[in-house]
Amino acid sequence: MRLLMITQDFPPDVGGIQSYAFELAGRLVHRCDDFAVLAPKISGSETVDATLPFEVIRVQATYDTLAFKAFPVLLKTAQRRFDTAFHVQWTTAIATLAARPFGGPNRIYVAAHAREILLEPLSNYLNRFYNACRRGVLARADGFLAMSHFTASLLEQAGVNPTNISVTFSGVDPDRFRPQDITAFRKEMGLEKRRIIFSVCRLVPRKGLDTVIRALPRVAEVVPDVLYLIGGNGPDRNRLEALVRQCNVETHVRFVEMIPDEALPLYYNVADVFTMPARATGADVEGFGLVFLEANACETPVIGARTGGIPDAVSDTETGLLVDPDNHEALADSLIRLLNDPEYAQRLGRQGRARILRELTWDHIADRTYAVLAGGS
């Protein structure tokens, strides 16, 4: 197979989809006769690309314009005879569909995350055109790789034949995210005598951190030494800080701003439980929940919400617990249970890592992805 991956999201930009594209690219290159990535040119991209074992074709384009800027590049690469295009977002498939009659890749596969299948970014009238365009592109693709069963259901609702959808999930690196001795880190952070709840995400209302804060007064009554570490930043920061004061839990919450990428495994390890009870708000929904796998890979139990694709990332009562995203009483019960029953919590954490090693490493995801892409060969 001669494969071209086309993605709007790629390092040095950071995020869940960026990690997905990067990790798969590093594994698919070894399975293909020819392989390259087509991505936007951004600050720092030359430094990143110089370290990679595959070619990255950079285009002077934004997230929104890559679908159009990719077309002439596809025509120029026709002599390389890429037979398959793997689009990390559906919008860029427009370019390959247009280039296909002129020697562009003949087979077109699309990854589906969730938000981009639901998004209606324009006015009411223009959204009709946008939806028609999306349905037209989805109808002409050869296959889809859905991040979760929830995302697969969205594709079906958009008119995709279920036989063209494969649920491949996202993955995690168990060598990077693994159990570690955090004695020194705990001392450095002043956490020796605290039991830790941890969240890390962009601070927006959808992530449900307000539900965690509302649960804290009751948790603190039962677990007086509890401390909630909130990693990340975003527009919801001021509202969350005000809610902390309103709930009188200032001594039980610490905002740690942006966590360096290399330090993230330490935070997962120092946590007694990781939680992110994300809610679904229109198109803004958690398509899977990579953070739950990262925490589980460190043998940390997790608590998620019964929304979007999170139930695929969190196996309820096996690797963690699931609650309704706005039920702070139920969340308090689950937090108290894990904090006060370390044996049960540790069992969930161990089972979480075992599940990852069994089926959710990036090598597993790459194997499933390649099998789908090669299936049309």
Boundaries of every domain in the chain:
2-171+361-374, 183-359
What are φ and ψ of residue 191, in 5° steps?
Answer: -115, 15
pTM of the model: 0.93
Residues 44-94: pLDDT tens digits? 999 999 999 999 999 998 878 998 999 999 998 888 899 999 999 999 999
* DSSP conformation letters of 186-235: HHHTT-TT-EEEEEES---GGG-HHHHHHHHHHHHHH-TTEEEEEE---T
pLDDT band at 32 (very low <50, low <70, confident <90, very high): very high
What's the pLDDT score for residue 79?
Answer: 84
What's the pLDDT score for residue 16?
Answer: 87
**Which tokens go with 146?**
């859905």
Residues 206-219: pLDDT tens digits? 999 999 999 999 99
Contact between 304 and 295 (Cβ < 8 Å): no
142 membership: H or E segment, kind and range: none
Give the CATH number of domain 2-171+361-374: 3.40.50.2000
Indicate the average pLDDT of the chain.
Answer: 95
Other beta carbons within 10 Å of 328? 24
Residues 309-318: pLDDT tens digits? 999 999 999 9
Give the CATH number of domain 183-359: 3.40.50.2000
Q: How far is CA 133 from CA 128, 129, 137, 236, in A?
A: 9, 6, 6, 33
| Rounded Cα gap, residues 308 and 364, in angstroms | 22
Can 2-171+361-374 and 183-359 be said to share one CATH topology?
A: yes
- Indicate the SS3 state at residue 43: coil
Contacts of 113 (CB under 8 A, 6+ apart): 17, 89, 147, 151, 287, 288
Smallest Cα–Cα separation from 87: which of 33, 30, 137?
137
Asked if the model's pLDDT at residue 121 lies above 80, the reply is no
Dihedral of alpha carbons 196, 197, 202, 204, sign: negative
Burial-class residue 54 by CB neighbours within 10 Å (0-12, 13-18, 19+): middle
Contact between 85 and 105 (Cβ < 8 Å): yes
Contacts of 278 (CB under 8 A, 6+ apart): 201, 206, 207, 208, 285, 286, 289, 304, 305, 307, 308, 310, 325
- Indicate the SS3 state at residue 74: helix
Distance of CA 187 to the CA centre of its chain: 31
Contact between 164 and 144 (Cβ < 8 Å): yes
Weakest-pLDDT range from 48-52, 162-166, 189-193, 373-377: 373-377
